[in-house]
């Protein structure tokens, strides 16, 4: 390591890749060298890190020879091909795609929830789906205290989750509507501006979507509880940044709202924003750019004993 790690960002020119670079700088992560990798179409582009321009290189099988830590965010197909290659070169891979999340040999880690699972890695550490992460961060202290029997979650996810083209499409549609022009959609099957799409990802034979089943399966793996019941509905909303979720939980033993609030106020990665009488509650605008998961509108479920 010496003065820092030799780090690579794969998918550096994408929305998530850009954010990875930004976070490395903001956190002053110990970086000795930073290599930016992307597809052929991004060759020659330059991105700024700590005031210096770094030229993007084309991702290749020999890109990882000098690299110690590789952050992947270029999609599952790229990860499936190149992450094992990087890991063989003694590089630790943190993969943001779905490629290895359910691989029994690959730990699926949320630092605030199951940090010890990192030690089980064999070169690749999987990063969960974004909507799963914020949910398990908020639910872990409740799970530890009272157990969780069932989770019912509905998500309201920003277009940033789809990527740059989706954000550009939302902007273009808003402009078109304001100017009374034809609204065109390419990224999504329907207009997203001033609209909501009641699915994220493809529909599966069971009627759920890929995104919804990710939340089901990933939650069980992260919490190490294959018996926990999870049902999810994921919705794409016309918001640029900040995913929101409405979560209903049935615990195994009784726990009061006051106990839940106290647990959450002391939980890592959680900020309680809960004063409804003064219109204080979590909103995407307040969550944008924040590390913490904002939690609010805490209340007892009047329909079941342990909700």
Q: Are 221 and 126 in contact (CB under 8 A)?
A: no
CA distance 159 to 11: 18
Angle between helices 130-146 and 257-265 (to 10 degrees): 120
Helix then strand then coil, % of the chain, to nearest 5: 30, 25, 45
Q: What is the CA radius of gyration of the chain?
A: 21
State yes or no: is 130 an active-site residue: yes
Burial label, 161 (beta-carbon count in 10 A; 0-12, 13-18, 19+): buried
> Per the residue annotation, which of 130, 190, 196, 199 is the catalytic one?
130
Instruction: Reply yes or no on whether 91 is catalytic.
Output: no
Residue 56 near residue 36, CB atoms below 8 Å: yes
Largest CA distance in the chain: 60
Active site residues: 130, 243
């Amino acid at each position: 390591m010496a003065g820092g790690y030799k780090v690579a960002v794969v998918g550096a020119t994408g929305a998530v890749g850009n954010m990875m670079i930004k976070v490395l700088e903001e956190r002053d992560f110990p970086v000795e060298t930073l290599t930016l990798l992307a597809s052929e179409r991004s060759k020659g582009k330059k991105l700024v890190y700590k005031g210096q321009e770094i030229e993007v290189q084309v991702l290749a099988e020999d890109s990882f020879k000098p690299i110690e830590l590789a952050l992947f965010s270029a999609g599952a197909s790229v990860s499936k091909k190149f992450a094992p290659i990087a890991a063989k070169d003694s590089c630790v891979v943190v993969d943001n795609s779905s490629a290895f999340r359910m691989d029994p040999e690959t730990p699926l880690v949320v630092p605030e929830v199951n940090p010890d699972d990192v030690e089980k890695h064999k070169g690749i550490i999987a990063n969960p789906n974004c909507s799963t992460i914020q949910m398990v961060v908020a639910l872990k202290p409740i799970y530890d205290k009272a157990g969780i029997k069932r989770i019912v979650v509905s998500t309201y996810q920003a277009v940033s989750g789809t990527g740059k083209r989706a954000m550009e499409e939302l902007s273009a549609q808003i402009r078109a509507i304001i100017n009374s022009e034809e609204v065109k959609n390419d990224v999504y099957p329907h207009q997203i501006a001033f609209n909501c799409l009641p699915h994220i990802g493809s529909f599966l034979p069971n009627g759920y979507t890929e995104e919804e089943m990710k939340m089901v399966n990933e939650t069980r793996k992260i919490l190490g509880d294959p018996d926990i019941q999870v049902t999810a509905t994921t919705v794409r909303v016309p918001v640029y940044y900040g995913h929101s979720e409405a979560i209903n939980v049935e615990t195994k033993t009784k726990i009061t709202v006051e106990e839940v609030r106290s647990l959450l106020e002391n939980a890592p990665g959680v900020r309680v924003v809960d004063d409804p009488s003064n219109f204080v509650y979590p909103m995407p605008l307040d969550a944008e750019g924040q590390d913490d998961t904002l939690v609010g509108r805490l209340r007892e479920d009047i329909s079941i004993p342990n909700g």
